[in-house]
């Protein structure tokens, strides 16, 4: 009887030790996977701080007589590609744009030194006319950090800011109407966006480009107006790009937002192009499977 009991105890102990060995192996595998994933994310994050992709879009219109090339520099957030952004400026110069648009978030709220962005704008303005709107980080610096001189600094560097404003730009024999709208979804009415848009006359014979930093402003608020092309940024491509699912998150729409990156068709058949942006605001998480993006839009005669 004692022998059987001892044998049973030994078998139980062996089973327990076997289970612990399996559990330990599983934990080691999970640890290795976690370390490998963490290392891959770190390496990718470092890589995206010095590299970006260039995405081309083609649009056609009866309102233009020839090709018009636009480069969109969005959400760069004080980042430098090459010394003094020399790599980025060189690439943009090689693209030979007719117009450079900056739809906001050139700075980071908590970084007071944004001279690299002023130098970038100065360099870009030597290539083509530069127009832009303020992003939420610029607005927050102005109103929460009392940086009232920020708009004038960018204007002096060569960036024409459209702060609820419209301007006609002559490119070759064509006239492009540029409209810039400020604000958030909650501030569209309160800070004059609706009033400005209602009072703005959009010439149906001119190609009209509407810029707003935050893409959800385009639907439903801005899609009611008769522009041709909308340009936006802000969402950083959804931050984390999941295979088959797309961007993971945006502040305005939450998880799996509709507006993240790419080309969209709005309710009046206007085109909206959202840039994935060239930087990040250093908030967690970093960009994952989501290369920074320089956008090029060619508008050709239909």
The answer to whether residue 144 scores a pLDDT higher than 70 is yes
**Three-state DSSP class for 70?**
strand
Percent of the chain with pLDDT over 90: 77
- In which residue are the tokens 């024999």 written? 173
The answer to whether residue 159 scores a pLDDT higher than 80 is yes
The answer to whether residue 1 scores a pLDDT higher than 70 is no
Nearest to 268 by CA among 185, 210, 212: 210
* Separation of alpha carbons 252 and 237, rounded Å: 13
Q: 26: pLDDT confidence band, cut at 50, 70 and 90? A: confident
The answer to whether residue 19 scores a pLDDT higher than 90 is no
How high is the pLDDT of residue 10?
A: 65
Tokens of 127: 């290539």
Strand order in the sheet with 130-132: 53-61, 293-301, 68-72, 99-102, 130-132, 159-161
pLDDT (mean) for 248-266: 95
The predicted model scores a pTM of 0.88
* More confident: 284 or 135: 135
- Per-residue DSSP letter, 97: -
Nearest to 166 by CA among 198, 137, 126: 198
How high is the pLDDT of residue 41?
A: 73
* Separation of alpha carbons 207 and 137, rounded Å: 29
Q: What is the mean pLDDT of the chain?
A: 92
How crowded is the C-beta side of 29, counted as CA atoms within 13 Å? Answer: 6
Q: Which stretches of the chain are assigned E, i.e. beta strand?
A: 53-61, 68-72, 99-102, 130-132, 159-161, 165-171, 174-181, 207-212, 229-232, 241-242, 246-247, 249-250, 254-255, 262-265, 271-274, 293-301
* Separation of alpha carbons 20 and 32, rounded Å: 18
Percent of the chain with pLDDT over 70: 95
**Three-state DSSP class for 249?**
strand
Tokens of 199: 């009072």
Tokens of 203: 């010439």
**pLDDT tens, residue by residue, 187-246:** 888 888 999 999 999 999 999 999 999 999 999 899 999 999 999 999 999 999 999 899
How high is the pLDDT of residue 265?
A: 97
Q: How far is CA 280 from CA 81, 91, 261, in A?
A: 13, 20, 14
> Where does 53-301 sit in CATH, by number?
3.60.21.10
How high is the pLDDT of residue 8?
A: 62
pLDDT (mean) for 20-32: 83
* Separation of alpha carbons 229 and 272, rounded Å: 6
**pLDDT tens, residue by residue, 41-68:** 777 777 778 899 999 999 999 999 999 9
The answer to whether residue 9 scores a pLDDT higher than 80 is no
Domain boundaries, the chain: 1-48, 53-301
How high is the pLDDT of residue 203?
A: 94
């Amino acid at each position: 009887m004692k022998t059987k009991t001892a044998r049973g105890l030994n078998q139980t102990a062996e089973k327990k030790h076997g289970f612990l060995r399996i559990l330990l192996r599983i934990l080691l595998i999970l640890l290795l996977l976690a370390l490998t994933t963490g290392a891959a994310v770190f390496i990718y994050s470092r890589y995206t701080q010095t590299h970006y992709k260039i995405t081309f879009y083609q649009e056609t219109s009866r309102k233009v007589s020839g090709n018009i090339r636009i480069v969109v520099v969005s959400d760069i957030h004080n980042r430098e590609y090459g010394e003094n952004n020399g790599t980025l400026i060189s690439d943009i110069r090689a693209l030979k744009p007719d117009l450079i648009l900056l739809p906001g978030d050139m700075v980071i709220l908590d970084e007071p030194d944004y001279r690299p962005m002023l130098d970038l704008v100065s360099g870009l303005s030597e290539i083509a006319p530069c127009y832009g709107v303020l992003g939420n980080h610029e607005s927050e610096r102005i109103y929460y950090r009392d940086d009232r001189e920020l708009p004038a600094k960018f204007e002096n560097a060569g960036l024409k800011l459209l702060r609820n404003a419209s301007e006609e730009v002559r490119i070759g024999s064509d006239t492009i109407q540029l409209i810039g709208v400020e604000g958030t979804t909650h501030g569209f009415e309160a800070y004059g966006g609706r009033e400005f848009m209602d009072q703005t006359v959009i010439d149906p014979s001119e190609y009209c480009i509407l810029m707003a930093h935050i893409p959800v402003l385009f639907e439903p608020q801005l899609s009611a107006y008769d522009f041709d092309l909308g340009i936006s940024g802000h969402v950083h491509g959804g931050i984390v790009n999941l295979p088959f699912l797309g961007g993971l998150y945006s502040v305005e729409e939450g998880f799996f937002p509709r507006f993240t990156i790419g080309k969209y068709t709005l309710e009046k058949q206007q085109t909206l192009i959202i840039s994935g942006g060239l930087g990040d605001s250093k908030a967690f998480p970093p960009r994952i499977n989501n290369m920074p993006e320089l956008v090029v839009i060619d508008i050709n005669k239909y």
